[in-house]
Amino acid sequence: MAGSCLKGRFLSVFDYKTEKYIVAKNKKVGVLYRVIQLSIIGYIIGWVFVSKKGYQETDEAIQSSVITKLKGVSVTNTSESGLLVWGPEDYVIPPQGEAVLFVVTNFLETPNQKLGYCAEVRIFCRVDDLKHGRCLRKDESSNGTCEIYGWCPIERKFKPQGPLLTNAENFTIYIKNFIQFPKFKFSKSNVLETTDDSYLKKCRYDEELHPYCPIFRLGDITQRARYNFQDMSTFGGSIGIMISWNCDLDKGYSHCHPQYYFTRLDISVSNTTIATGFNFRHTRYFKNATGESYRSLFKVYGVRFNIMVHGKAGMFSIIPTAINVASGLALMGAGAFFCDMVLLYLMKKGNSYRERKFEDCRYDKQHRSTDTAEVYELAQCSDVKLNSEIYRLHTTTSLALTHRRGLRTTLTYPPPTATHTLFNCKSTAD
């Protein structure tokens, strides 16, 4: 008996169960359900697949290399420095061409500094002390300045009145960028693939005419960032150049193009910061005819360019497609659940719908302890058609079931009535 019971349970694993559907003749809920379905379908097709390309596998781990080169010449003439000619090797820092570079547009020079003792004009004193050294004064009644040992004369302190490299906005910068998406083994450059050696010598970047000529005029870069180059060149600034590669590899190699964006990085949204501009100091060392060491101290102002590369590539894959389709089907089920809640709790005839959707079944047990343990089970169900079929079968056959406790149970079925059906179970000892 135990084996028969276990066998029955094992075979029930292979039974197929399906849902029972009830058609509710309610136009309001029906329209609501169709609207929800159409909204979900529109979301899946329009947003997930068309806009976000949810059918593609993506790679955002872009590998990039940037090489820069500047061209242009400027001439300055100051009382401290005299006549100077500035080439890329002079105004580009660092000169080797990296993704971050600085272009000098203005400078203050303190020439011919030599190590020795001189007055520090920023520290005033009246007497000598151990901390600051000698106090250099014109007379005993006046304040003096402390004597220091360092590079003399000390740096001059004043604000520049305008840019010295006045034509720096006409300098050109060549930005060569190589990118690769390792997942798809795809690589490309932002330079036109051509055999014409003179192409880069005569072209300038234009989004429509020359999108693969990465040569930019500095004045055009700041103008694209909505700032004037002459205003920035006096005290300096910082410009960000972003190269974006958004490639749909399903369309092919020729549809992957670089996009350039320009922005100023040293300006806050409120435009009230006191930290605008960019400057730093560097020196040039030399020796005179007698071998004495001298240096020229330069405080340089200019524009710092930060070249940043980011991108994403996508290609069709069955896995993300299946995931997004399954998510859409799950949302369809959520729409049906919402409509059920409307029918059950928001409609006037919700109780009637609840009675047809949910069938109540009671299972009662009655126990009695005697010398011989007997169990009587009473099952009641409100399905008249089912009991009528069982009664028809009983008229031709007699069913006997053996319980695990060794009880022989004979089931008898009285004729069903129009109002209810009752199963009577009668057990006798074996």
88's CB contacts (< 8 A; 6+ apart) are 69, 70, 71, 72, 95
Residue 213 has a CB neighbour count (10 Å cut-off) of 18
71 annotated as a binding-site residue: yes
Burial of 168 (0-12, 13-18, 19+ CB in 10 A): buried
105 annotated as a binding-site residue: no
**What ranges in 242-383 are assigned the alpha helix state H?**
318-341, 350-357
106's CB contacts (< 8 A; 6+ apart) are 160, 162, 163, 164, 165, 233, 234, 235, 236, 300, 301, 302
- CA atoms within 13 Å, Cβ hemisphere of 243: 26
281 annotated as a binding-site residue: yes
- φ/ψ of 372, rounded to 5, equals -110, 115
279 annotated as a binding-site residue: yes
Omega cis (within 30) before 153: yes
Omega cis (within 30) before 160: no
Given a contact cutoff of 8 angstroms between Cβ atoms, the answer to whether 347 and 353 are in contact is: yes
Pairwise CA distance, residues 382 & 4, whole Å: 30
172 annotated as a binding-site residue: yes
Rounded to 5°, angle at Cα 414 from 413 and 419: 115
Beta-strand ranges (E) seen in 221-292 are 237-248, 258-264, 279-287
Pairwise CA distance, residues 55 & 13, whole Å: 36
- CA atoms within 13 Å, Cβ hemisphere of 430: 10
280 annotated as a binding-site residue: yes
The three state secondary structure string of 166-214 is CCHHHCEEEEEEEEEECCCCEEEECCCCCCCCCHHHHCCCECCCECCCC
Binding residues: 69-71, 172, 279-281, 299
Binding residues for ATP: 69-71, 172, 279-281, 299
